[in-house]
Amino acid sequence: MALKFPIFMDAQSTTPADPRVVEAMIPYFTEKFGHPASRNHPFGWEAEAGVDVARQRLATLISARDPKELVFTSGGTESINLALKGVAEMYREKGDHIVTTVIEQRAGLDVCKRLERQGFKVSYVPVQPDGLIDVDAIRKAITDRTILISVMFANNEIGTIQDVPAIGKLAKEKGILFHTDATQAVGKIPVDVEAMGIDLLSCTAHLMYGPKGVGALYVRRKAPRVRLAPMIDGGGHERGMRSGTLPVPLIVGFGKAAEIARAEMGAEAERLAKLRDRLQDIILSSVDEAFLNGRPDRRLPQNLNISFAYVEGESVLMGLNKETALSSGSACTSATLEPSYVIAALGASAELAHSSIRFSLHRFTTSEEVEYVGQRTVEVIKRLRDMSPLYELAKEGVDLKSIKWKAE
């Protein structure tokens, strides 16, 4: 198959919608446009039926006991906000302490920072060099005032999959609620809220080949029954937890995406892991001093994150961006001008955080694309190293740490 440019390998930022998803959505814009809360006419019934099917499909995908446990939101960020703020407000009398980790995505960290300003105490558990959170470190952070543990299921940068069942078990043992940000995991790897002891789970459609603008929060109804203070007041939709007219076409698309994911996840994960491993081989076999970030055997199948010593991430992307879309932990690619806090938290030097590149594959990635991107990456790294003063110094045997750098 001929290559089509640009090649998209940034699928942990978003995924293209599956054409089957789009097809399922279309009637809900035009013919079946009713308000699902209109209880007294067929337009409403039809829209409600569409939402019900979607809710059921999503419940099945994450093995929720009851579809009513799913609350539709505008996406992962809103789900995380609702979970954390909703629990904090509702359980404030019980306690004022939250345990989370340093590698949560920004939404999780920023909500925690806000809660701290409001008087809550938050413990940020560090990450081990391999990207895993030590469950014992979570245990040690728990106090008798802890009301919530919030740990991401799989990391957005390095793809590391946490030991969620062990954290769920710990939470049950201590009688503390457990929220997981599963935006990167749902639809990609098996997620079972019952078997894994998850009380709250955030997910989003656009990372699993669904549309942008819709997400969901799973809120356990039994053992324990989780209660949340709503963030948005209004018509009392979604069991009062999230008012606002439901975006029916988006929800229908989310449901379709969940159905496809459930049916195809096994084969897709296997295919993507093989392609990912091939990409990794092409690069690591040709480039010295390239370091894999995150534990190799506990990664999302589509994720590859490598730090290339002595070259800066944005300059790598610039060498490829006409033809390939990738992402970097480099400061120059972030709005905050700070390098990746995830890579930095692994204990790598800040220089390696600036040098990290994330390749993320998706349902429509081909082996031709993988071969091409692998080869081109190798070329670009070699070219940039030829103009890197750090590579030159290192090759001369100079220890870069021995130089007294004059930072700006």
For other proteins, the binding residues (CB under 8 A) are 310-312, 314-315, 318-319, 330-332, 337, 339, 349-351, 354, 386-392, 400, 403, 405-408
What is the nearest approach in angstroms of other proteins to the Cβ of residue 389? 4
What count of other Cβ atoms lies within 10 Å of the Cβ of residue 403? 10
Long-range pairs, 105-111, Cβ under 8 A, ≥24? 105/76, 105/80, 105/152, 105/156, 105/181, 105/183, 107/76, 107/77, 107/80, 107/81, 107/181, 108/80, 108/84, 108/150, 108/152, 108/181, 111/80, 111/81, 111/84, 111/85
Q: Which is nearer to other proteins, 273 or 400 (CB)?
A: 400
Of residues 171 and 353, the one with the C-beta less far from other proteins: 353
- CA–CA dist 16, 109 (Å, integer): 27
Closest approach, Cβ 130 to other proteins, in A, equals 22
Q: Which is nearer to other proteins, 168 or 339 (CB)?
A: 339
3-state secondary structure 25-76: HHHHCCCCCCCCCCCCCHHHHHHHHHHHHHHHHHHHHCCCCCHHHEEEECCH
Q: Report the alpha-carbon distance of residue 152 to residue 97 in Å, rounded.
A: 18
Rounded distance between C-alpha atoms, residue 137 and residue 145, angstroms: 17
Q: Closer to other proteins by CB, 166 or 393: give it.
A: 393
Q: Which residue has the tokens 């008012």?
A: 243
**Catalytic machinery residues:** 332
Measure CA of the first residue to CA of the last residue in the chain; give whole Å.
49
Q: Which is nearer to other proteins, 268 or 312 (CB)?
A: 312
Q: How far is the CB of 352 from other proteins (least distance, A)?
A: 9
Cα(272)–Cα(274) distance, rounded to whole angstroms?
5
Whichever of 46 and 314 has its CB closer to other proteins, that residue is 314
With 0-12 / 13-18 / 19 or more C-beta atoms within 10 angstroms meaning exposed / middle / buried, residue 302 is buried
Question: Which residue, 2 or 407, has its beta carbon nearer to other proteins?
Answer: 407
Q: How far is the CB of 280 from other proteins (least distance, A)?
A: 24
Q: In Å, what is the CA distance from 270 to each residue of 88, 150, 188, 277, 362?
A: 39, 29, 11, 11, 12
Least CB distance to other proteins at residue 163 (A): 31
Q: Is 270 exposed, middle or buried (0-12, 13-18, 19+ CB in 10 A)?
A: exposed
The least distance separating other proteins from the CB of residue 393, rounded to whole angstroms, comes to 9
To other proteins, the closest distance from the beta carbon of 356 in angstroms equals 11
